[in-house]
Amino acid sequence: QLQLQESGPGQVKPSETLSLTCSVSGTSIDTSAYYWAWIRQPPGKGLEWIGTIYHGGTTYYTPSLENRLSISMDTSNNQISLKLNSVTATDTAMYFCTRSLMVAGREFGRWGQGTLVTVSS
Amino acid sequence: DIQMTQSPSSLSASVGDTVTITCRASQGIRKDLGWYQQKPGKAPERLIFEAATLQTGVPSRFSGTGSGTEFTLTITGLQPEDFATYYCLQHSSYPRTFGQGTKLE
């Protein structure tokens, strides 16, 4: 059974780097059948797509974070990673990891439970 | 970037009612649209993909229509478990964009 489990530090200081991991179980990420994305949600607000990574490493990032964001795949550990540099309070949010099928229309079909990140000194 | 304008932002309804939520895209996106339901404290779940195809296991009281720039999600005969927040998502191009959300209460 597929499970996506996000993990991270919980709290990060302003100007530091946020590192999150999405541990995938129940399927291998080392397949072109899927692609993976991170979506975040500030407290009390809506959903924001922040980036996607395809098998083979192609990435797309939201323009507002493009110069601070990096998403990568670790196939040996079956994990998707996110790194966000120079964080500020506006990066405080629940961060979700998602899986999509490489089939038309099947975007963000499976979600992790999310991990809350607070940016505070 | 494609902007998704979702309305209304909130909607008051009762069990048994029929409600409609609308999303308008700033440019044509064919049928590259999904609808997601989010309950408090939970991750979103996809209800509909390709504008009108029901996700397996989603009750038939949910339906989606539209193509191009105008899309609707209709819930016919609201059930207590349907009171949640709903989002549309365009996946026609990058960056992906969500609607602002509709809170059904």
Angle (CA) A33-B36-B76 rounded to 5° is 130
Mark out the alpha helices in B1-105 (DSSP H runs).
none
Cβ A47–B95 below 8 Å, yes or no? no
Mean pLDDT of chain A: 96
- Amino acid residing at B98: F
The minimum CA-CA distance between A121 and chain B, rounded to whole Å, is 25
* Encoded tokens for B66: 């539209």
Q: What is the DSSP letter of B98?
A: E
What span, in angstroms and rounded, lies between the C-alpha atoms of B5 and A104? 23
**Torsion, CA A37, CA A71, CA A84, CA B98, rounded to 10:** -20
Alpha-carbon gap, residue A30 to A55, rounded angstroms: 7
- Residue A103 is predicted with a pLDDT of 87
Test A107 with B98 for CB contact under 8 angstroms: no
CB-CB neighbors (< 8 A) of A113 in chain B: 42-43
Check whether A104 has a pLDDT greater than 90. no
Q: Is the pLDDT of residue B26 over 90?
A: yes
CA-based nearest residue to B29, from B51, B47, B62: B51
Identify whether B95 is preceded by a cis peptide bond (ω within 30 of 0). Answer: yes
- CA dist., res. B71 & res. B65, Å (int): 6
CA-to-CA dists, residue B43 to A1, A110, B71, angstroms = 17, 9, 23
- Interface with B, mutate which of A5, A49, A59 (most B CBs under 10 A): A49
Of B55, B96, B100, nearest to A46 by CB-CB distance is B100
Confidence of residue A105 (pLDDT cuts 50, 70, 90): confident
From A98, A113, A104, A119, select the one nearest A48 (Cα to Cα): A98
Shortest alpha-carbon distance between residue B17 and chain A (Å):
25
Min Cα distance B62 → chain A (Å) is 17
* pLDDT band (50, 70, 90) for residue A115: very high
A106 touching B, CB under 8 A?
Answer: yes
A110-111 vs B70-76, strand pairing mode: unpaired
Dump pLDDT digits (tens) for A33-91: 999 999 999 999 999 999 999 998 999 999 999 999 999 999 999 999 999 999 999 99
Contact criterion met (CB < 8 Å) for A106 and B49:
yes
C-alpha distance from A30 to closest chain B C-alpha (Å): 23
Kind of pairing between the strands at B53-54 and B4-7:
unpaired
